Amino acid sequence: MLSCGVVARAVAACCAALLVAAVCSAPGVSAHSGRGELFELLDRVDLNADKVISSEEVALWAAANGATTAAGTNHSFTQEHVLALSKLLSSPILDGTVPVEVHTSLLNNSRLAIMWVTEVPTKTSTVEYSTDGSHSFSKSIQGSTHTYTAGGWKGVIHEVHMPEFPANTRVTYHVGDRDGGWSAIYTVQTPPTVGNKRTADKPLRIATFGDMGTYIPLGYKVCEQMEEDHKKKPLDLIVHQGDIAYASTAVTADGTDDEDGSDTVGEEQEFVWDMWAQQVQPLAANIPYVAGVGNHEKFFNYSSYLARFKNPEPWGGSPSAIDNATFWFSFDFGLVHFTMMSTEHDYTPGSRQHRWIVDDLNAAVANRGTVPWIILVVDMYFCGHMHIYERIHAVNNGTVVNAASTIYRNPSAPVHVVQGNAGVFEDVEWVTPTPGWSAVRKSRIGYGRFEVYNATHLFYESLELATREAMDQFWIIKS
């Protein structure tokens, strides 16, 4: 993931991931239940006092139980974090044929993919559904299964490609198998018509962020924040920019953070992926969820990411993603064209990805009469990786071409947004003095949301977890 305008101190590793890794690797402790020595640590939390378990205690406990940890972390767990984690670990992550980790994604502008996980195989992989809101499902469709073994993961991933529906169709469904059992009932809406004009009282509303994780320390809280906000202002789409579950203890031999994943020791803890997928299920089962790739997905040659996500396939004017559709791809959603690139793969001029990006953006510009907003370059660029929020003025080759405070009128270059603050630890030193191209910068946890009203008006806000208010907001207005 790219970042701009920040210099990060080297952080050894995400401390909760270390705690989880220690639970997995400690002798005699079940990776499913988490019972055992973990609760000796939890018992030391005084629930009637405002106490924390420090990272030093976690490191000492991990070492005593045969787990490795990295030096240098300076964060603590509040009792809320520890109790939330222990509650999750006190129950099985995967449980027989019970469908869990239900999530939806886009196949194209009229079809959805629905995926879920079971611990063991079931006779069928079935979605029963209705389009009239009824829970007496009269229609069903079956799909396929696959798995992966990297990191010792054991489970079954189910994937169903839904039929084409008219735009904005509300599909009520559950997943599973008649013998193995069914999931809860969810409702997801199919994408809007490409080029469909919105109204002021119902804009196209999309959440975007990177760098979430689970309990390291507040990814689960950001999910709760989005769930609450979704009830008030329903989302049409979620775009996760990468750095997803933070399932790895990715550190170098000297104990510092391994930024590019090229010299890692330790390994990915696969059940953390299951924790994260269950954490986002209330969102992803009801809202199409598109996930890009970041450096924290590199373990085992991206095996977990490739197995767990189905990204949009080329359609319409979108060129083929040249053998890497899962890593870089594009799609139209209403009035917005998304170009999803991967900074974990070569994107220099002449590379396969660079050629694809050029072709994709040329096709998008040619189609601008129908889909006027392009996300990556031209209008806006989103990224994560740095665990902060920063808005960067419209910049062309390092030169600010529009330095508006809240309204960018006809900017001739993209507005950049670093929204990498969806829950993981913050450990950043800002560049000082503030560069002229840096409009707003915040070291606070939250997520981003933008609203597209029509072909000329786009509104963006960065929502803070602590206050549940916008810590930055701005408009892009084109005439």
Report CA-CA distances (Å) from 294 to 84, 188, 298, 348: 26, 26, 7, 17
Dihedrals phi, psi of 452, to nearest 5 degrees: -105, 115
pLDDT digits (tens, 9 = 90+) for 64-90: 544 433 333 334 455 565 556 655 555
Q: Bigger pLDDT: 239 or 26?
A: 239
- Identity of the residue numbered 409: R
Q: Bigger pLDDT: 151 or 23?
A: 151
The mean pLDDT of 364-372, rounded to a whole number, is 87
pLDDT digits (tens, 9 = 90+) for 324-339: 557 888 889 999 988 8
Residue 356: exposure state from Cβ atoms within 10 A (0-12, 13-18, ≥19): buried
The mean pLDDT of 133-160, rounded to a whole number, is 95
The residues with which 78 forms a beta bridge, in sequence order, are 52
pLDDT at position 419 is 87
Note if the bond before 203 is cis, omega within 30 degrees. no
Query: Which segments of 285-409 are extended strands (E)?
Result: 289-291, 329-333, 336-340, 373-375, 380-383, 389-392, 394-396, 399-402, 407-409
pLDDT at position 230 is 97
The mean pLDDT of 390-419, rounded to a whole number, is 88
pLDDT at position 52 is 47
Q: Bigger pLDDT: 432 or 42?
A: 432
The mean pLDDT of 140-162, rounded to a whole number, is 96
pLDDT at 128 over 50: yes
Low-confidence winner among 56-65, 177-186, 203-212, 446-455 (lowest mean pLDDT): 56-65
Q: Select, from the ranges 27-36, 360-369, 466-475, the one with the highest average predicted confidence (pLDDT).
A: 466-475
Q: Bigger pLDDT: 328 or 63?
A: 328
Q: pTM here?
A: 0.82
pLDDT digits (tens, 9 = 90+) for 175-193: 999 999 999 999 999 999 8
Q: Bigger pLDDT: 59 or 364?
A: 364
pLDDT at position 214 is 85
